[in-house]
Structure 1
Amino acid sequence: MNKILKFSIAAALVAGTAQAQELRGWNTHVPDYPVSIALDRFVEMVEERTDGRIQMQNYHGATLGEGEFATEQLQFGALDYGVFSTAPMVNTVKELGVTSLPYVFKDPEHQYRVLEGPIGEDIAAAMGEANMVPLSWFASGSRSFYANAPLNSVEDIAGKKFRVQNSDINVAMVEALGANATPLPFGEVYTSIQSGVVDGAENNWPSYESTGHFEVAPYYIIDNHTIVPEGIIFAKTTWDKFSPEDQAIVRAAAQEAAIYQRELWAARETKSREIVEAAGVTIVEGIDTTTFAEKMGPVYEQFASDPVVADLLKRIQATE
């Protein structure tokens, strides 16, 4: 799709949003997913606390388009808000690249401390230049590999075809492990594994379970290679229309929704793992991820050589 056509679609969607006088929110997950439940809570809080001045409608299950397309629409202002992964934004906002680097975060709590502190403020400023305003960060889980054949070590990753999000960093990470990276929309992963287009993918427990991917890729190796940020993000063109008072209300609601989502997420992770274990999935854990991390040199060299990104990386590594 060329840029002119994309812009035309975006303009049409913007016009439709204005006529409806209702903000449209995107989300890729099914309605009963922790992200979706928390996003619904967010909308309820905002509408109640603004006495209905701000009306919003969530569209779950990627009904407004798959991730990459939806991210572009947010940047155009054709979508008003939603819960977005930052992975597809890396190619537009270079500062976000550091958050998708393999093994950059020690654990989810470390990620929150980074994103909710001075480093996060600098990243948010860079996102603003691309018409995006992050308000809060959700739990997104640690991502690991799964496939239709046994995965016991880094050697088993090599040679296989893995679906990745459409991010240059993710492609480079998989290729550094000796595998073939295939960017695909999230909604196409199940049939792509089933038909042999790819051998597997990489994701967290709830995504692996809720999509049924474990049915076609029953081998899961816990390497926790990335903890990719995901959160409530507004189009800046929409955000700037709010009064300062309403901005404060919306931001506070987004942060409360994030705390709620993290609680739901912890419970869902446990439940999802129990479901796939009961289904007979082979889970390999306790591996030495050093063998994985040692292969990431080319990835860091390629994506952390920019002075701005390199500085952010040093600051993240220095954050306790």
Structure 2
Amino acid sequence: MSFGADMRRRDALAGLMALGGLGALGGCNSRLGEGVFTSADTHVDGYPTVEAVRYFGELLEQRTNGRMSLRIYAGGQLGNERDTLEVTTFGGLDFNRVNLAPLNSIEPLTVVAALPFIFESTEHMRQVVDGEIGDEILASLERHGLIGLCFYDSGARSFYNTRGPINTPDDMQGLKLRVPGSDLYIDMVRSLGADAVPMPLDEVYQSLAQGVIDGAENNWPSFESGRHFEVARYYSLTRHLLAPEVFVMSKESWDALSTSDQDIVKQAARDSVPHMRDLWDARVEESMRIVTASGVEVNEVDPALFAGRMTGMWDASLTTPAQRALVEQILALRSGS
């Protein structure tokens, strides 16, 4: 990240906080205007999560006859997810789309959905998060100043690197791999024999190009949209994570709404999920086409070889009875159960 970009992000965050103080920008009279809400996303315009939140904003505006609207700060304009999430908890931002990783350190139940190999397929993951298990995880965020509104897809995450194909965990020995700032991700990569390097997403391309890291792990759209495939020419389909992403609202902003407006917000968020999934599935296909056409070497692996290394990590990550109960419920929903 350049110094200039970092300063611009700090200035933007400072500007938002100055406009709304520590209160909700959308729930009070501010220079943004009455009923104008704010939302952050680290992904760029056009990315499925950004477009899903934009669609949510359109639904919000339609269903309130323009009384509510949404301004989206995409492309990491306001910094990384950990920074913007902190601002959201005290109302400096109204909405935020975040990965589970920054939530893992504050809410144990979010760890369950982020466990490697816990979901056997995209269909299994969607069934889980759309039901009572997903509702329980979302509800757990309220005690941390956040209202969990819905889950979005984050696809199947796999490893990519600059050195060569990964066919077994032995091929990962000594690789320096970027991970989000989460103990769970760090433990996962270490369990596979690689060195975990916590790093914001927006620093990955430069770090790959300069040899600071050897690789990273992510889904097809992020691998493509971040241009990581231009420097990391080996993509190994471990599909180790199918962890969903979360769309949250500041509890301070939520509490400033009437009950009827809360219902409108929650329903609009839920209604944005099918739209997001349609966009996501199409984007995965397009990203696969772009990456493979560029000549990146893509290889399949036997996932059991990698999943077998996760036993100790699962045991260390599941520290509460509530977590273990959710795991059992998720495993019971697998097709072979």
TM-score band, normalised by shorter chain: over 0.9
Q: CA deviation at 1:307?
A: 1.6
RMSD: 1.7
Residue segments in structure 1 that go unaligned for 5+ positions in a row: 1-7
Residue by residue over 1:72-118, the C-alpha shift from the partner in whole angstroms, topping out at 9 and shown as x without a partner, is 22222221102111211100001111111110111122112212222
Work out which of the residue numbers 158, 163, 181 in structure 2 matches 1:149. Answer: 163
Work out which of the residue numbers 272, 285, 305 in structure 1 matches 2:287. Answer: 272
CA contact (8 A) 2:84 2:96 kept: no
CA contact (8 A) 1:87 1:228 kept: no
Work out which of the residue numbers 78, 97, 102 in structure 1 matches 2:111. Answer: 97
CA contact (8 A) 1:136 1:231 kept: yes
Q: CA deviation at 1:186?
A: 0.6
Q: CA deviation at 1:140?
A: 1.1
User: Compared with structure 1, are the counterparts of its residues 192 and 311 closer, same or farther at alpha carbon in structure 2 (3 Å cutoff)?
Assistant: same
Q: Is the aligned partner of 1:46 residue 2:60?
A: yes
TM-score of the superposed pair, with normalisation by structure 1:
0.93
Residue by residue over 1:253-298, the C-alpha shift from the partner in whole angstroms, topping out at 9 and shown as x without a partner, is 212211111001111101101101110000001x211110111122
Counterpart amino acid of residue 207 in structure 1? S
Q: Is the aligned partner of 1:235 residue 2:250?
A: yes
Report the Cα distance in structure 1 between the residues aligned to 2:214 and 2:131, rounded to whole angstroms. 39
CA contact (8 A) 2:150 2:247 kept: yes
Report the Cα distance in structure 1 between the residues aligned to 2:58 and 2:180, rounded to whole angstroms. 31
Report the Cα distance in structure 1 between the residues aligned to 2:332 and 2:145, rounded to whole angstroms. 29
Report the Cα distance in structure 1 between the residues aligned to 2:114 and 2:52, rounded to whole angstroms. 23
| Corresponding residue number in structure 1 for 2:85 | 71
| Corresponding residue number in structure 2 for 1:206 | 221
TM-score of the superposed pair, with normalisation by structure 2:
0.88
Q: CA deviation at 1:14?
A: 4.0
CA contact (8 A) 1:151 1:157 kept: no
User: Compared with structure 1, are the counterparts of its residues 211 and 300 closer, same or farther at alpha carbon in structure 2 (3 Å cutoff)?
Assistant: same
Specify the SS of the correspondent of 2:21: helix
Report the Cα distance in structure 1 between the residues aligned to 2:145 and 2:244, rounded to whole angstroms. 18
Specify the SS of the correspondent of 2:44: coil
Report the Cα distance in structure 2 between the residues aligned to 1:126 and 1:257, rounded to whole angstroms. 21
Q: CA deviation at 1:55?
A: 2.6
More moved, 141-150 vs 112-121:
112-121
Q: CA deviation at 1:11?
A: 6.1
Q: Is the aligned partner of 1:15 residue 2:30?
A: no
Q: CA deviation at 1:230?
A: 0.9
Report the Cα distance in structure 2 between the residues aligned to 1:112 and 1:12, rounded to whole angstroms. 39
| Corresponding residue number in structure 1 for 2:326 | 312
Specify the SS of the correspondent of 1:93: coil
Map 1:250-261; keep pairs closer than 5 Å. Answer: 250-261=265-276
Report the Cα distance in structure 2 between the residues aligned to 1:53 and 1:240, rounded to whole angstroms. 17
Counterpart amino acid of residue 46 in structure 2? D
Counterpart amino acid of residue 43 in structure 1? G
Counterpart amino acid of residue 129 in structure 1? R
Aligned-residue sequence identity (percent) comes to: 38
User: Compared with structure 1, are the counterparts of its residues 305 and 183 closer, same or farther at alpha carbon in structure 2 (3 Å cutoff)?
Assistant: same
Q: CA deviation at 1:33?
A: 1.3
CA contact (8 A) 2:94 2:253 kept: yes
Q: CA deviation at 1:52?
A: 2.1
Report the Cα distance in structure 2 between the residues aligned to 1:28 and 1:305, rounded to whole angstroms. 30
Report the Cα distance in structure 1 between the residues aligned to 2:215 and 2:276, rounded to whole angstroms. 27
Q: Is the aligned partner of 1:164 residue 2:179?
A: yes
Q: Is the aligned partner of 1:111 residue 2:125?
A: yes
Count of aligned pairs = 312
User: Compared with structure 1, are the counterparts of its residues 14 and 299 closer, same or farther at alpha carbon in structure 2 (3 Å cutoff)?
Assistant: farther
Q: CA deviation at 1:211?
A: 0.9
Q: CA deviation at 1:203?
A: 0.3
Counterpart amino acid of residue 15 in structure 1? G
| Corresponding residue number in structure 2 for 1:184 | 199
Report the Cα distance in structure 1 between the residues aligned to 2:50 and 2:266, rounded to whole angstroms. 18
User: Compared with structure 1, are the counterparts of its residues 271 and 11 closer, same or farther at alpha carbon in structure 2 (3 Å cutoff)?
Assistant: closer
CA contact (8 A) 1:67 1:186 kept: no
Counterpart amino acid of residue 62 in structure 1? G
